[in-house]
Amino acid sequence: MILRPKPDIVSGEYLAWAINHSTTQRYFDSVARGTKLRMVSRASLEHLDLDIPDIETQRKIVAIAALADWEQALSIQAAGLRKELTSKILGERAKRPRRAAATERITK
């Protein structure tokens, strides 16, 4: 089935966001049939109740959702870089020669 939104009522981007929203996905999970290939019937789609705000609000919701996704991706990237930097710092620290006094205490 192909959904064709009426552009004066709902934007395609907002419809995609709404369909992928966790609440809608839970609804689809509850009405889906099948084991290997889960299918949602046309009747279940017709009973789907989506909140459709005005076009300007839809645009803002889509923009904010995109920014949230971007923030999450950057956070994951920053965490990876932080881990890499920490590993390099600790690796360099481990390679430093020990001071003679510290070495003597350990060997005595």
Q: What pLDDT digit, counting tens, does each position of 18-65 carry?
A: 999 999 889 988 888 887 888 888 888 888 889 999 999 999 999 999
- The span from the CA of 99 to the CA of 6, in Å, is 75
Q: Is 2 within a domain?
A: no
For residues 74 and 24, membership in a common domain is answered with no
Specify the pTM: 0.68
Residue 16 · residue 10 · CB < 8 Å: no
Question: What are the C-alpha distances in Å from 75 to residues 20, 23, 84?
Answer: 22, 25, 14
Q: Is 94 within a domain?
A: yes
The strand ranges marked E within 1-108 are none
**pLDDT digits 0-9 by tens, 78-88:** 999 999 999 99
For residues 106 and 77, membership in a common domain is answered with yes
